[in-house]
Amino acid sequence: MSTARILVVDDDPHARDLLQRLLGVLGPVTQAPDPKGAAERMGEQSFDLVLTDMAMPDPGDGLKVLQTVKSNLPDTPVIVVTAFGNIEGALDSIQLGAFDYLSKPFDVDAIMRVAKRALEQKRLVEENRTLRKQVERTSLVGRSQALLEVYKQVARAATSNVPVLITGETGTGKEMVARALHKRSARTSGPFIPVDCGAITESLMESELFGHAKGSFTGASGARRGLFEEANGGTLFLDEIGDVGMKVQSQLLRVLQEGEIRRVGESVPVKVDVRVLAATNKDLKARVAEGLFREDLLYRLDVVHLHLPPLRERREDIPALVEHFASLHARGGVRPVVTADAMARLTVYDWPGNVRQLENVMARALALNVTGVLGPPDFPEPIGDAPKRLTGLAGDLPSLAELSRRYAAHVLQHVGGNKSEAARLLGVDRKTLYKLLEAPETPEGIPPAEGRS
């Protein structure tokens, strides 16, 4: 169990000292003599566990401490201790969210058992939240025809065990596709290990992937397993595979052919059961022609080929991505509103960094915005003035009015045709909402939501 920060609240200094000695094996213990002192300590740092006495003199009791914890550290478990076995007080504490209650005099074994159980619950809550964030972050977002084709290919390829080559520009979401393949495969319970091949020097790549024996090179003070062994039973994602040198390419080919690796400095092969997914933003066929990439390795990797189109070729997915990132990076759980004008500008921008750039821009805007409403000024140039770039471009791009109408219709449909709610979310009045919905529709436009008047 990792070190935990614990707060003990009791008006009896001897009881505080005893609890500090008992719980000190779990981590640093901070003391407070009353609810006010507990609130001050919580203002200075966070805690993983709080133990509080129930009966304390004014200004408050253990329930006051419990309420303060739930307001400031909602995931922190609270154990309430009472000297009187007060059933009514114990029930009140449980109803207010206490993890458990104990009676004085202290049962050392009981305190340690309950404290460890409470800390384990907190760890699981945090772990689940992290996993949910990872799922949210790695989910494919969008309903364009191009992305729907990717969805279908992912669904088909996930059930297989063959290598997959994922191509696309930087930031298009190649790792998200790789994670989706792993999550939907029979290997989902195994590890998913991503490797940024472009960030590892060629001299270190061999040891990173295949491991090494003790003394196999200068600095190898001990034996080490490589990432192929770490990924055994799961998936190894080789991002920027086009940056791998020729020597390591030969070793990768052997792994794909034989299902075994050799650690640096060892001659005995080690069997591995790993599915290899690779990604690149380079033209590997061109690199083969230039003598920079092995043709036989390309054939081994490119059994299934998934190509992710750049964001500028699937602009209809941008509103959904904006809403997704707005929710993902919202502060305090309050989902911000993106005005129709801002959404239009975000939609017409070309996004050379693709989905990754869009997420970074949204995270920056939300970090600096204090109103909860994101408008054009919240986004940097040239994004904030993106509509100016339409002047003189080909006529097949939708107008700003058309993009505003599409987004207004989308929001109205999202709220079930409630125009007042749609106007509130868009940051406009009902009159302006009507004007947005009545904008001229281009042939390829999205029809207005039903119930429009």
pLDDT tens track for 27-51: 999 999 989 999 999 988 899 999 9
d(CA 359, CA 266): 44
Contact criterion met (CB below 8 Å) for 342 and 161: no
pLDDT tens track for 50-86: 999 888 876 668 888 998 898 888 889 999 887 655 5
CATH numbers and ranges of domains, the chain? 6-134 (3.40.50.2300), 145-309 (3.40.50.300), 313-437 (1.10.8.60)
pLDDT tens track for 202-221: 878 998 999 888 766 666 66
Written as one letter, the residue type at 445 is G
- Residue 379 has which token pair? 């986004």
d(CA 411, CA 293): 48
237 alpha carbon, distance to own chain's centre: 18
- Give the mean pLDDT of the chain: 83
- What are the contacts of 290-295 at 24+ separation with CB within 8 A? 292/246, 293/242, 293/249, 294/246, 294/249, 294/250, 294/253
Contact criterion met (CB below 8 Å) for 400 and 344: yes
Q: Is 350 exposed, middle or buried (0-12, 13-18, 19+ CB in 10 A)?
A: middle
- Residue 48 has which token pair? 């993983």
d(CA 273, CA 282): 28
Which of 83-87, 271-275, 445-449 has the highest mean predicted lDDT (pLDDT)? 271-275
pLDDT of residue 171: 92
Mean pLDDT across the stretch 325-345?
84
Residues 412-435, buried b or exposed e (16+ Cβ, 10 A)? bbeeeeebeebbbbbbbeeeebee
d(CA 87, CA 105): 16
Contacts of 47 (CB under 8 A, 6+ apart): 5, 6, 7, 30, 41, 73, 76
Q: What is the largest CA-CA distance in the chain?
A: 83
Q: Is the pLDDT of residue 318 over 70?
A: yes
Mean pLDDT across the stretch 103-122?
86
19 alpha carbon, distance to own chain's centre: 38
Task: Specify the higher pLDDT residue, 294 or 416.
Answer: 294
279 alpha carbon, distance to own chain's centre: 20
d(CA 427, CA 337): 7
Query: How many Cα atoms sit within 13 Å of 420 on the Cβ side?
Result: 0
